[in-house]
Amino acid sequence: MLFQNALEAAFIARWAGIPVRVGYSRDARWWLLSHPVPCGADKRRVHETAYYLHILHGAGLPLPPPPDQGVEPELELEPQDQEWAHQFLAQRGLEGPLLGLAPGAAFGPAKCWPAPRFAAAARELAGPGGPFEAVLLFGSRGEAPACAQVADELEGLQVVDLAGGTSLGRALALLQRLGAFVTNDSGLMHAAAALGTPTVAVFGSTNPATTAPLGRRVRIVRHPPECAPCKKPVCPRDLECFQAVSPQEVAQAVGELMRGEKGGEP
């Protein structure tokens, strides 16, 4: 199954002698596939979970066509990771409600709400009188600078910077224990939503119609300018899509989500 649309992926699969090569017949690669699946403009507008499931349906598997709005994923955690997360928090005395932040994104800076705004939203939520006891920062090693910047701006609060310091399984186990999670459009965003963690995602250059987190406890905050969604990794216009999103608005979205109030996207 070739989920990638790249010509190179199909070429490598054929060169390797793989007999069954199923994928979208995009980018002039139909001749490299044993089962090319047509990909019209309608397929490119649906949520990505539906986009990839349409490959299976289009290849003739006896599956119903997926809904355009996508299919909610499910995650099952390893017991050893859950136990590690329990011990990790207990050793630090973190028993109250926890706020998670993920200020990075692997795609590029155009997907990143500025770190100072993450910090300002966290101060609204975990400062004096806020509903959260401590802040956990999530990210890869490459996202460590953004996490460190947020941590520096949260001096005086209880902060645990996890960037690059855990396995994926352990990070997911900690995500499951959060009272709320504020994130950019990222892989951890989708994981948190799938785990049922209240998740507020700030969107800028990407399109929530195709990449929104799917789950019952999700809120999207965005104020797209005319150029969004551009899907560019680096913004040529001073991050206009993020400048309109205030820390107070994000903090308010977290509060509304925790109270079960409706509103906002999706």
- Give phi and psi for 61, each to the nearest 5: -70, 145
Q: Is residue 72 part of a domain?
A: no
How many domains does the structure of the chain reveal? 2
Q: What predicted TM-score, i.e. pTM, was given to this entire model?
A: 0.89
Interval 53-110: pLDDT, tens:
889 888 888 878 888 899 999 899 999 999 999 999 999 999 889 999 999 877 777 7
Of 9-23, 80-94, 99-113, 168-182, the poorest mean pLDDT is in 99-113
In terms of domains, do 31 and 89 share one? no
206 and 116, same domain (yes or no):
yes
CB neighbours of 214 closer than 8 A, spacing ≥ 6? 47, 49, 70, 71, 72, 73, 190, 193, 194
Between 110-114, 249-253, 258-262, the lowest mean confidence (pLDDT) is in 258-262
140 pLDDT higher than 60: yes
Domain assignment present for residue 65? The answer is no
Same domain, 89 and 213: yes
User: Residue 73: inside a domain, yes or no?
Assistant: no
Cβ(181)–Cβ(198) below 8 Å: yes
248: CATH: 3.40.50.2000
Domain enclosing residue 27, as ranges:
7-58
